[in-house]
Amino acid sequence: MASKRILKELKDLQKDPPVSCSAGPVAGGHVPLAGDIMGPADSPFAGGVFLVTIHYPPDYPFKPPKVSFRTKVFHPNINSNGSICLDILKEQWSPALTISKVLLSICSLLTDPNPDDPLVPEIAHMYKTDRAKYESTARSWTQKYAMG
């Protein structure tokens, strides 16, 4: 079930890729996938290309994929290991969701962090109390780690 579903999602992704995201097989196989997320234009991540890895569990789509950033990103919901705190990758997962929708949700998380459910409390605190400092730090990390 999982591999048929994954192959279908890959075909759909290549036919109709979500805006500013892409994903495809890692060389030589189809699991895990490697994805790219372009930093949204209206965010401090604009101009960056962020690499993600997508691991599918054996019981996908009944369990969510594990998505993690391989590019360092300064964000309250993404930690230094690349783990992402996003409800649809945890308790809000539904088998109706696809990797395309997951990538789009990660894009919107970059634009609209959730500082009330942070993985990195210090960054969440900065986001809430000194937005200008948060944005300039996020911009400088983007230039350092996500712009080649």
What proportions of the chain, in percent to the nearest 5, are helix, strand and coil? 35, 20, 45
Catalytic residue among 85, 119, 124, 146: 85
What are the φ and ψ backbone dihedral angles of 62, each rounded to 5 degrees?
-80, -20
Contact between 50 and 69 (Cβ < 8 Å):
yes
- Residue 21 among the catalytic residues: no
Q: Which residues are catalytic?
A: 85
